[in-house]
Structure 1
């Protein structure tokens, strides 16, 4: 398959309207790289294996690794309260301010309402200023009560790195991970990325007018890299080379209420799952029109990183993983959860209402006995994405699936309650409380 990889990748991106993509994978100790398509549909610049793509939230595993390295050096433990590491740290809830730990941040269980995209400038104090602004963040859910994806938590974690190392997060990342692994095509600042061939994100098929997120989001999602460098990072976790015990980061910390999106559990930074009896350690990322996936199968030693700059990237990644892992390891990737063959009768009306958290509002209404979902992006990124609607079809009493217009990939939503009876919907690895 390796010899025909470029042709196959070209066919795959055409099928999913992806402008350009690159893949690197480690199999039986050998690295393989492939690329297809364009970095920018406006310029026609070709993607190469050395092209840099924004890997988005895969960055979070790098930030978790930084803190794990500092923990091995005795600078903290994962159960150290953040307030003991960051003088003056505050969030909206005084009790959470004093008790939230590094483990809570890295496992997305802090409950801090997490999609705060706040531009605090390009200066080296951007993380410090961002964390100061977190003083007003309310709780999305009680501390430790469930799992909800929290970008803000990882910016706070990055600020902990700064405080303990005495340098900015970008430089600490270089000193702790990038340079020790000899990575030459991994950067965080656009002025460095510009020295390489870099992808431009595409939204609705056209190059985005905004290239990347604000610098303050660095520890949550600003690494830009070639896939081979990301695979090398994964290899250090699989085979050693950074941490004394990298597998400790794979220990399940919390079950994901909606296990149908990326995995069944969250570890320390990593997402955990099982395919065909094989353990899967992974993470994905999305920025403005760019996406990435990193998968590792410890049982086979195979590591795959794929990146894309637009189109139906989720469906593209799933198709790629399905074919590639079957070819390489004989492993069957589970299909994406879709509708049942026979209609399922549920009391859908009890889920109607408004669900809201920082950055997102979801309005669920009853329609023809089923549910209709209106998704609206709010806050700093509202202007970059139009509201979207989709019908939700029941799979069981609490699980529904739906598809956006013209998107081949099914999305899943799980309605559930916390121990205190508070209603939530879990979608896109985020818990969103019902407010009306």
Structure 2
């Protein structure tokens, strides 16, 4: 391990401050907050504005929506209940939720609890947004799956980032503990971890400094406040509702550095369960889909592994990274979706400049004459359609959201900033089955942004069955 001295950490603080100021000005990010903890030292950097409507500043202790970072908290809760004998990771979900079903009869029967938290369940519910609130929100979500959502693949066959799996896991937790998901999160993670400012609702968040998301105005790129602060309660375990500060997420990340022990010395998770979360559970063997643990995504940077999860919220994006080999936790939030690029810059700076990690190139030299025909066609998942064609020796993708009903459209468009389709995007072939967005330098994909690459899988009879973008699968129609 290359130690980071206190002086080096303060050098990192100055670098983060400069990177944040430059990116916020150049990329129209209203506000940004980040923190690093290593070997007993901690720094926090805040810059800009938390809410352009009010002018409230982004402060060191400003709260923000965790987004999908919550999935690691949810997984921690599942492992806790497994340790206590209330859950069996290898039991069918139906053992705990007899009502659990999907639109294809019998499709849910083979899904195990383990599949829910390893993103290998195949539930096609990534854009399913039932608008329910309160104590029965997750119960309503699970009941709605039977008439609204099918499957993308057989359990364990593929890996696809799964909001639905985490929400079902949250409902399993409610059933086996008798507590609501927010109550359980507060009792078994927030309290023992020392996440003193974390909460689970807008009603709690409004009592203290809290950032809101923003979207760029299409005409001027000027940030405008989101019209929806958070997703419905049905999305709590996947990242819809939990809120906290940089200090809160640094405290949680430290648990996963210390074998399950919180900064206060409280045992949150056993060393065995902590290690299990960090161990590879499924690997798609493609650079745009890093190996998956339980909850954690394992990003390889040469011989160094970064355990990470990012989280989108309406008009904002967070990230939590744990680097066990270097006893380091990094977390950040920016209040426009494009802030993920700044997250990536800071992560790579910390790895290369301050930890001495060599970051190898993800992309090799493009292979000549890649046959594009197997990848052209239409791919679908729930309410999402991607049309892929061959244009001038490249793949061109057109992505369209096709809402199931007015409620789904209202929630999705508010979450996405008002859009239901994306401009056409062209991709250049790197090798058979792997493509990079045209017009970007190859080194852009060496860090967290390798998720922007697109891969195609399971070619049969000259046609790929699956497309993977951003860790999410769509299936050939």
Query: Where on the TM-score scale, by shorter chain, does this alignment land: which range?
Result: over 0.9
* TM-score normalised by structure 2 residue count: 0.85
Could you tell me which residue of structure 2 aligns to residue 397 of structure 1? 432
> Which residue is 1:360 aligned to?
384
In the alignment, what sits opposite 1:351?
A: 375
- The equivalences for 1:35-434 within 5 A come to 35-136=46-147, 137-204=149-216, 205-221=223-239, 222-239=241-258, 240-241=260-261, 242-245=268-271, 246-256=274-284, 258-260=286-288, 264-310=290-336, 312-334=338-360, 337=363, 344-379=368-403, 380=408, 381-383=411-413, 384-388=418-422, 389-402=424-437, 411-417=452-458, 423-434=465-476
CA 418–244 in structure 1, closer or farther in 2 if over 3 Å, else same: farther
Tell me the CA shift for residue 169 of structure 1.
Answer: 0.3
What is the alpha-carbon distance in structure 1 between the residues aligned to residue 150 and residue 383 of structure 2? Answer: 13
**CA distance in structure 2 between the aligned counterparts of 1:333 and 1:211, rounded to whole angstroms:** 37
**Ranges in structure 1 where 5+ consecutive residues have no aligned partner:** none
Separation in structure 1 between the aligned mates of residue 64 and residue 360 of structure 2, nearest angstrom: 27
Report if aligned partners of 1:16, 1:315 keep a CA contact under 8 Å in 2.
no
Distance in 2 (CA, whole Å) between partners of 1:3 and 1:268 is 31
8 A Cα contact 2:386 2:397, kept in partner: yes
- Structure 1 Cα separation of the partners of residues 252 and 231 of structure 2: 23
Q: 1:66 to 1:366 in 2, by over 3 A?
A: same
Per-residue CA deviations over 1:10-49 (Å, capped at 9, x if unaligned) read 2233233322111111112211111111112232211011
- C-alpha distance after superposition, 1:362-406 (max 9, x if no partner): 11112112211111233325533241121111111111111699x
In structure 2, distance between residues paired with 1:224 and 1:354: 37
Distance 2:459 2:244 in 1: 39
1:326 deviates by 2.4
Residues 286 and 292, structure 1, Cα contact 8 Å, conserved in 2: yes
Tell me, yes or no, if the aligned pair for 1:17 and 1:311 is still in contact at 8 Å: no
Matched, 1:29 2:40: yes
Of stretches 377-386 and 389-398 in structure 1, the one that deviates more from structure 2 is: 377-386
- Determine if contact 1:256/1:429 at 8 Å carries over to the other structure: no
Q: Determine the C-alpha separation between the residues in 2 that align with 1:9 and 1:378.
A: 36
RMSD of the alignment, in Å? 2.2
Distance 1:350 1:49, change over 3 A: same
Q: Quote how far apart the aligned CAs of 1:123 are.
A: 2.0
Q: Distance in 2 between matches of 1:72 and 1:82?
A: 17
How far apart are the structure 1 equivalents of 2:26 and 2:229? 25
Deviation per CA, 1:75-133, whole angstroms, max 9, x where unpaired? Answer: 11211111111132222334332221110010111111031432332221011011000
In the alignment, the residues of structure 1 paired with residue 305 and residue 337 of structure 2 have an alpha-carbon distance, to the nearest angstrom, of: 29
Question: Gaps spanning 5+ residues in structure 2: where?
Answer: 1-10, 217-222, 262-267
**TM-score under structure 1 normalisation?**
0.92
For residues 316 and 8 of structure 1, what CA distance do their matches in structure 2 show?
A: 8
Deviations 1:129-181 (A, max 9, x none): 11000113211112211001111111110001111110110001011110112
Q: Contact 1:390/1:404 (CA < 8 Å) preserved in 2?
A: no
Matches of 1:225 and 1:333, distance apart in 2: 31
Provide the rounded CA distance (Å) in 1 between the counterparts of 2:256 and 2:328.
12
